[in-house]
Amino acid sequence: MSSSTIQQKKEHKSGLTPGIRFVQGVAKATGGTVLGVTMLTSSVVAGGLVGLAASFRNLPDVRVLRGYVPSETTYIYDIKGKPLARLHGEANREVVKLDQISPNLKRAVMAIEDSHFYIHQGINPNSVGRALVKNWQQGSVVEGGSTLTMQLVKNLFLSRDRKFSRKIAEAVLAIRVEQIFSKNQILEMYLNQVYWGHNNYGIETASQSYFAKSAKDLNLSESALLAGLIQAPEEYSPFINYDEAKRRQFQVLTRMSNLGWITASEADAAFKEPLKVGKPTSWQSSELPYITEAVVAELNERFGKEAVLKGGMRVQTTIDAKFQRMAESTVTRAHANLRRRGVRADQVALAAVDPRTHFVKALVGGVSYDKSQFNRAIQSRRQPGSSFKPFVYYTAFATGKFSPGSTVYDSPVSYRDGSGYYSPRNYGGGYSGPMSIRTALIQSANVPAVKIGRAVGLDKVIEVLRTLDVKSPMEPVTSLPLGAIGMTPLEMAGAYATFASNGWHSTPTVIVRVTDTSGNVLLDNTPKPKLVLDPWATASLNSVLQGVIAGGTGTAANIGRPAAGKTGTTSSERDVWFVGYVPQLATAVWIGNDNNRPMGGGVTGGGYAAPIWRSFMSQALQGETVRYFPPASNFERPRN
């Protein structure tokens, strides 16, 4: 084998620059004639177009490309790095560097789209001349003759109108781009910008969509097929017409062989190679849709919708995918059990928060996302009933005037409220006379809660809730202590999580960290807990709420370890709750109907929501060390 043949084979295998050396090798073999003539003609035409540039003074300044950042897809991952979802507008794109793209793909694209790319100065005179003649004969633009550089500026700066004036502007801008950027920079921008079909922009997302692999791993067969798509992505798509895609692939491989960039045997082998084509991925549904919705809501609030859809963010969530699926399965089974028991409840929602970090660990917004996309865990404000009472009693303890042993009278009372009088009643009727606050809360007596709320000030209770990042609207109405306002399951779980941490609070979040494509941190939610509740008052409340599970309305929530919680049941059984916690996890469970229809007599939080809570927590705490709440005696009681 001759030394020149050996050199050609080495150049052919080495990647992008070999593409340059291939063309230069052809020129050298013919005494430099091809290269010299092409560059001379290119210079002449370029000079003429620069002269025309005076007529195009209003063209965009291509120097803006120095800071150009194309829109990119945002990716969402679980806490262990498992992909959950991708967010994008029209353009599904992931930008990659040129050296992260297979040499096979680079050569294939240049072969079929612009084989003189590394020789011309933005335009290819031979192609332009051929196109001009054909367009003149037809009286309209029917053939482009565009180089990769011309295609790039057309995609970035110009309209799609097939007019002579646009083609001239395209050529002028291409020359300007070539004067400012290197060939490698231009090729990198092109391969990341071009449309590959099925909402895939840029080679990385195209490679992932068609072949489920990175662009750097594309072989010759796959590269030839992708290069062939550029001219008409949907028409040549293997998802739509596999035979047409193979025909176009053959054209690319033949062109590469004719150029001497691959051998005929390599082209034949690549064409015969089976293509493992997958399915379009641009509009794939989320792995965990309830989590994705919560993430998007938080991202939109912090960054704005457009930045989220186009900013190429990498979002690490607080969620373990396996843990979330366990929560979803628990809710699905629980709903089936409710229906078997004759409970007329269409929906169940669940939210779980880690008290140590206030990271959201699970969000289940309903029984089936496929049937209803409404995320009740974060969007539905429902009356919490008696599960609201702990906020009232904490406020009382924090004043220093009350303790779990303080006496309160469960007796008839009426308050003037608005235009009339409000007379609270206990669930089931009747009154019990004097009792301790501990007993009142364990038995979930209504009248004492209203009396204590009035005594400490309902505005003070609302202040506590705002401290706990509860954003739902609230008014200091007399019925507030009985949960006559709406709150979301996540708000309830997040607020109770601060009881579980004995007063230490961080803003609940479903996001750990957000970075850009270069790894720069845009948002870091590393917990920075603050002590926002009085430790003695919180420990006192925790002691009482443990009694709810040990011998009160929440005995069905007993999980065999220290736990605290509260049942909630609204009038006519429209909403039933159980919200409870251990030091490692706080969880809220809600049952109800979206149309607010009553579920039937006897449906209570203790009888129906508490068992769901128990089922979930028993699974969630497997392998977790049993931890205890600190006693109130460890802390100093606030002075009144």
Per-residue pLDDT of 305-352, as tens digits, reads 888 878 889 999 999 999 999 999 999 999 999 999 999 999 999 999
Residue 612 near residue 589, CB atoms below 8 Å:
yes
- Phi and psi, residue 577, nearest 5°: -135, 155
Q: How far apart are CA 473 and CA 596, in angstroms?
A: 19
Residue 63 inside a domain? The answer is yes
Residues with Cβ within 8 Å of residue 580, at least 6 apart in sequence: 496, 545, 549, 554, 557, 563, 564, 565, 566, 586, 587, 610, 613, 617
Considering the domain boundaries, does residue 408 fall inside one? yes
For residues 541 and 566, give the distance between their C-alpha atoms in angstroms, rounded to a whole number. 11
CA distance 47 to 283: 46
User: Is 283 contained in some domain?
Assistant: no
The pLDDT of residue 154 is: 85
* Strand, helix or coil for residue 608: helix
pLDDT value of position 172: 85
560 by Cβ neighbours in 10 Å (0-12 / 13-18 / 19+) ranks as: exposed
Inside any domain, residue 417:
yes
Please name the residue ranges forming H helices in 83-163.
103-113, 125-138, 148-157
Decide if 436 contacts 405 (C-beta within 8 A).
yes
Output phi, psi for 422, to 5 deg. -115, 125
CA separation, residue 242 to residues 115, 218, 245, 248 (Å): 26, 18, 5, 10
CA distance 638 to 265: 87
Q: How far apart are CA 33 and CA 278, in angstroms?
A: 46
Q: DSSP 3-state assignment of 606? A: helix
Query: What DSSP designation does 412 have?
Result: -
Residue ranges of the chain with per-residue pLDDT less than 70:
1-60, 64, 67-69, 89-91, 127-145, 158-167, 278-285, 419
**CB contact set of 274 (below 8 Å; sequence gap of 6+):** none
Q: Is residue 621 part of a domain?
A: yes
Chain center to CA of 364? 16
278, two tokens: 């997958």
Number of neighbouring beta carbons within 10 Å of residue 455: 14
Q: Is 61 exposed, middle or buried (0-12, 13-18, 19+ CB in 10 A)?
A: exposed
**Is 113 one of the annotated active-site residues of the chain?**
yes
Q: What's the rounded Cα separation, in Å, for the pair 470 and 390?
A: 14
In a domain, 216, yes or no: no
Token pair in block for residue 283: 């509009």
Give me the pLDDT at residue 511, please.
98
Question: Nearest to residue 108, comparing CAs of 15, 25, 11?
Answer: 15
- Look at residue 132 and tell me if it is in a domain: yes
pLDDT at 137: 58
How many CB atoms are located within 10 Å of the residue 321 CB? 18
Residues of the domain holding 63: 1-68+117-181
In a domain, 356, yes or no: yes
* Residue found by looking up tokens 């140590």 in the block: 356
- End residue of a domain, out of 166, 181, 196: 181
Please give the angle made by the CA atoms of 80, 86 and 87, to the nearest 5 degrees: 130
The catalytically annotated residue of 11, 72, 113, 491 is 113
Q: What is the pLDDT of residue 64?
A: 66
* Alpha carbon separation from 16 to 19, 119, 179, 224, 269 (Å, rounded): 5, 14, 20, 15, 22
- Number of domains the chain contains: 2
What's this model's pTM, rounded to 2 decimal places? 0.73
Catalytic residue among 42, 257, 282, 386: 386
Task: Give the number of residues written for the chain.
Answer: 640
386 is catalytic: yes
Cα of first residue to Cα of last residue in the chain, in angstroms, is 99
Please list the residues that pair with 409 across neighbouring strands.
434
Question: pLDDT (tens digit, 9 = 90+) per residue, 527-567?
Answer: 999 999 999 999 999 999 999 999 999 999 999 999 999 99
Q: Which residues, including other chains, have CB under 8 Å from residue 447's CB and lie 6 or more apart?
A: 409, 410, 411, 412, 413, 424, 425, 426, 431
Q: Which of 181, 196, 212 is the last residue of a domain?
A: 181
**Domain final residue, candidates 127, 156, 181:** 181
| DSSP letter assigned to residue 314 | E
In the chain, the amino acid numbered 323 is F
Q: What angle separates helix 610-620 from helix 321-340, to the nearest 10 degrees?
A: 150
Output the domain CATH number for residue 566: 3.40.710.10
